[in-house]
Amino acid sequence: MKASFSNPVLFKELKLRFRSPKSFTGVLFYLIAMCIFVFGFIFTTMSVSKTSYFRPDESFILFALLSFIQLALVLFITPGLTAGTVSSEREKQTLPILLTTSQSSFQIISGKLLSSIAFLLLLIVAGLPIYSLVFLFGGISPGRFALVFLFLFVTLLAIGSVGVMFSTLIRRTIVSMIATYGVMLFLAIVTGFLFLLVMQVTRMNYTGTGLPPPSYVGHMLASINPGVLVASLLSPGISESLSEMTQVKLPVWVGYLAFYVTLTVLSLIIAITNLRVNMKRSK
C-alpha cells in the first residue's frame, strides 16, 4: 500500500529543487519585497490620511492589492516553472532513461507537475503571515480570504498542467514556454478584450427596448478571466454587474471553476497519453 502512493520522480525533483540555495534566496527576497510593500503601504496611507490608525476600508484595499500581486505571480512564474519539465529531459537525453524505469506515465507527469509548482506554492504559503496582517485592521472575512487562495491554487494547477502538456508535446523548451505564455496571456488579457468587444457588438445589434438578450459568449469570456474572478471574489457587486451586463445569472466562480478544472484534466490526459508516443516517434 505504501509503495502505491510513492512517487520517486516527485521526491527526486523536490530534493533537487529545494536543496538549491537559489530556492531559499528567492523565498527570502520575495518575503522582503512583500514586507516592504505592506509596511510601506500602511505608512504611506497613514501619512496621507494624517491618522495614527489603519481603517478597515484601507485594509481591504491592501488585501486587494496583495491578491492581484499573488495572481500576477501565479500567471507569470508558473509557465516558466512547468514549460520545461519534460522537454528539458528530452534535450538532455535523459528522458529515455526515465521511461525505462518502472514508473508509469501518470507518476512521471504528476511528479514533474507537482515538483514544478511546489516552489510557487511555497512562496504563497510563506506569504500567509504577511497576508494575516489585514485581519488586525478588519475589512476582510476569513471566508473571502480562503476563497481567494483556493482559486489561486486552481489557477496555478491549470496553468501548470498546460505547461506540462506543451512540454510533453513540443521538443524545444523555448517553444514550449512561448506556447504556455501565449495561453496564459490569452486567458488573462485577450479574454477581457474579447468580452468588451462582444458586449459592444451585442449592444450595437440590439435596437429594441427593454433588456438585451443574454450574451452567453460574453459571460463565458469574463468568467474564465483570472482578473475578473479575483475582482468578483473581492467585491460581490462586480459579479452582479457582470450578470446585469450579460443577462446571465450564473456566478462567475462557477464558470471559472468548471473551465479550469476541465482544462487541468484535459491537459494532464494529453500529456500522459503522449509522453511515450513522442519517444517512439523520435526513434
Cβ atoms of 260 and 191 closer than 8 Å? no
Give residue 139's pLDDT. Answer: 66
The predicted-structure confidence for 255-272, as pLDDT tens digits, reads as follows 999 999 999 999 999 999
More reliable by pLDDT, 87 or 16: 87
Residue 231 carries which side chain, given as an amino acid letter?
A
Cβ atoms of 256 and 223 closer than 8 Å? yes
More reliable by pLDDT, 10 or 160: 160
End-to-end CA gap in the chain: 36
Distances (CA, A) of 65 to 38, 41, 45, 61, 115: 10, 10, 14, 6, 28
The whole-number average pLDDT for the span 37-52 is 79
pLDDT-derived band of residue 2, with 50, 70 and 90 as boundaries?
A: very low
The CB-side HSE value for 236 (13 A sphere, CA atoms) comes to 4
Instruction: Enter the C-alpha cell of residue 4.
Output: 502505491
**High-pLDDT (> 70) share of the chain, %:** 90
More reliable by pLDDT, 169 or 1: 169
What's this model's pTM, rounded to 2 decimal places?
A: 0.85
More reliable by pLDDT, 240 or 50: 240
The whole-number average pLDDT for the span 40-54 is 76
Cβ atoms of 3 and 98 closer than 8 Å? no
Distances (CA, A) of 217 to 68, 195, 196, 283: 25, 8, 11, 44
Give residue 154's pLDDT. Answer: 93
**High-pLDDT (> 90) share of the chain, %:** 20
pLDDT-derived band of residue 5, with 50, 70 and 90 as boundaries?
A: low
The whole-number average pLDDT for the span 22-46 is 83
Closest CA to 140 of 249, 57, 244: 57
The predicted-structure confidence for 164-215, as pLDDT tens digits, reads as follows 999 998 888 899 999 999 999 999 999 999 998 888 887 777 665 566 678 8
Instruction: Enter the C-alpha cell of residue 110.
Output: 504528476
Rounded to the nearest 10 degrees, what angle do helices 142-169 and 105-126 cross at?
140
Distance CA 114, CA 70 (A): 19
Give residue 183's pLDDT. Answer: 93
Q: Element (H or E) spanning 184, and its range?
A: helix 173-185
Distance CA 87, CA 271 (A): 12
The predicted-structure confidence for 118-169, as pLDDT tens digits, reads as follows 888 888 888 888 877 777 776 677 788 888 888 999 999 999 999 999 999 8
Cβ atoms of 99 and 279 closer than 8 Å? yes
Q: Cβ atoms within 10 A of the Cβ of 229, count?
A: 27
Give residue 3's pLDDT. Answer: 43
> Hey, where are the domains in the chain?
3-282
* Averaged pLDDT of the chain: 82
Instruction: Enter the C-alpha cell of residue 181.
Output: 505564455
pLDDT-derived band of residue 103, with 50, 70 and 90 as boundaries?
A: confident
Instruction: Enter the C-alpha cell of residue 236.
Output: 460581490
Distance CA 28, CA 26 (A): 5
DSSP 98-145: HHTSS--HHHHHHHHHHHHHHHHHHHHHHTHHHHTTHHHH-S--HHHH
Distance CA 214, CA 260 (A): 23
Instruction: Enter the C-alpha cell of residue 89.
Output: 529531459
Give residue 278's pLDDT. Answer: 47
Give residue 283's pLDDT. Answer: 44
Instruction: Enter the C-alpha cell of residue 263.
Output: 482544462
Cβ atoms of 115 and 17 closer than 8 Å? yes
pLDDT-derived band of residue 20, with 50, 70 and 90 as boundaries?
A: confident
